[in-house]
Amino acid sequence: MSLNQHKGFNRMYQKDKMTLGFLTPFEPKSNLLPKMENTVSLACKLEKMGFAAIWLRDVTMQDLESDDHGQLYDLWIYLTYLAAQTKHIALGTSSVVLPLRHPVRVAKEATSIDRLFPDRLIMGVASGDRKKDFTALGVEREGRGNLFQENFSIVERLLKEVQPTIDSNQGMIDGRSMKLIPTPVTTIPTMVTGSSQQSMDWIAEHGDGWIQYPRNIEEQTSLIRNYRELVDKKNPGLFKPFTQTLYIDLSENPNESPTEIPLGYRLGRNHLLELLFKFKEIGVNHLVFVPYFATRPMDEMIQEIGEEILPHFPTH
């Protein structure tokens, strides 16, 4: 099996092209938890208009000492719920926090999703940075880089080998007498988010792609170039897509000039289109809108972006 057979992956990712998606929760930030009352209708709207993916975060505890607008529901339960309410749009995790989840459970959850909703899961994984989650689950945050790498290896072997024998600190699997069920329909894409306490060299070798945070054009250009060089050095000619987020507050005035907000911009759609073309030119293959600072109703933003922007970056 290979990623060439994964329909969701290929609808999202093609070399030298870019598609668009949205991150949940769809509601702008507030001092309260997101209500998420219209999640399903917005998810269906995103699918109907032709967006490539919906992305979900892995959040355990609410941090009461900050303006924490994190995901409300458990990652896998929420993803299953959205998958059952939609038909084909890809569902991405951004990301499964591997140090906080047992790797055999992660593999079981991923293969179950892939069997029930084939070719839709794009699995981003990360080392995690939410201190309260590590405290609540009794995991030492300082050692998360090593634990991430160990759990990543276990998950990958369970997803991509037929009956691996694995002897680790997380448990023992004897491939002669046991195997993980169910098996995946195709190879499930596993992408590293951020640095995950790893070197770029390690990420280029082990991940099926890279999910990164917003930067200015110059910095992101350099990062993507270095990443592509490392990927090509280890696997000449192999395509590993680059994904990034972008926080936006879309103005009702289509010509409003960009104003910086944390990790993104408030701007009109004409300037947004110009910016997206630049990201495509430097090698971004999928861009995820984050409406955390949005001031307009999400339904309006999705409608305008879907009608005026999406046709330039269609799902493949």
Residues 165-221 have pLDDT tens digits of 999 999 999 999 999 999 999 899 999 999 999 999 999 999 999 999 999 999 999
- What tokens does 166 get? 């694995």
CA 130 to mean position of chain CA atoms:
17
Tell me how crowded residue 288 is: count the other CB atoms within 10 A of its CB: 23
Q: What is the pLDDT of residue 123?
A: 98
- Measured at the CA of 217, the angle between CA 266 and CA 230, to 5 degrees, comes to 140
Binning pLDDT at 50, 70 and 90, where does residue 70 land? confident
Once rounded to an integer, what is the mean pLDDT over residues 123-134?
Answer: 96
So what's the pLDDT on residue 31?
64
Which residues face 21 on adjacent strands?
53, 288
3 state DSSP class of 27: coil
Average pLDDT, the chain: 95
Q: Rounded mean pLDDT of 94-106?
A: 97
Q: What is the tens place of the pLDDT at every residue in 20-52?
A: 999 998 887 776 777 777 899 999 999 999 999
55 vs 234: CA distance, rounded Å: 29
End-to-end CA distance of the chain: 21
pTM confidence score: 0.96
Average pLDDT of the segment spanning 10-14? 97
Q: Are strands 171-173 and 166-168 parallel, antiparallel or unpaired?
A: antiparallel
Q: Is the torsion defined by CA of 43, 183, 95, 228 positive or negative?
A: negative
Q: Is the pLDDT of residue 313 over 90?
A: yes
- For 32-46, 72-86, 126-140, 241-255, which range has the lowest pLDDT when averaged over its residues? 32-46
CA distance 155 to 298: 35
Look at residue 305 and tell me whether its pLDDT is greater than 80.
Answer: yes
- Spans of all domains in the chain: 3-312
pLDDT of residue 3: 87
Say how many C-beta atoms besides its own lie within 10 A of residue 102's C-beta: 14
pLDDT in tens, 222-274: 999 999 999 999 999 999 999 999 999 999 999 999 999 999 999 999 999 99
What is the CA 287 to chain-centroid distance, rounded?
A: 10
pLDDT of residue 280: 98
Residue of 230 and 71 predicted with greater confidence: 230
Q: What is the pLDDT of residue 25?
A: 86
Which runs of E-coded beta strand occur in 209-291? 210-212, 242-250, 259-261, 264-267, 286-290
Contact in structure between 155 and 107 (CB atoms under 8 Å): yes
Q: Tell me: pLDDT of 67 over 80.
A: no
| C-alpha distance from residue 94 to each of 1, 3, 236, 272 (Å) | 24, 19, 27, 23
The larger pLDDT score, comparing residue 15 to residue 64, is at: 15
pLDDT at 171: 94
Q: How sure is the predictor about 1, in pLDDT bands with cuts at 50, 70 and 90?
A: low
Average pLDDT on 86-106 reads: 97
225-234 confidence digits (pLDDT tens): 999 999 999 9
Query: How many alpha carbons lie under 13 Å from residue 203 in its C-beta half-sphere?
Result: 27
Each residue's pLDDT tens digit, 109-120: 999 999 999 999
CATH code assigned to 3-312 = 3.20.20.30
CA angle in degrees (0–180, nearest 5) for 222-227-228: 100
* Of 126, 171, 133, 129, residue with least CA distance to 152: 126
CA distance 161 to 163: 6
Three-class secondary structure of residue 204 per DSSP: helix
Given a cut of 70, is residue 107 above it in pLDDT? yes
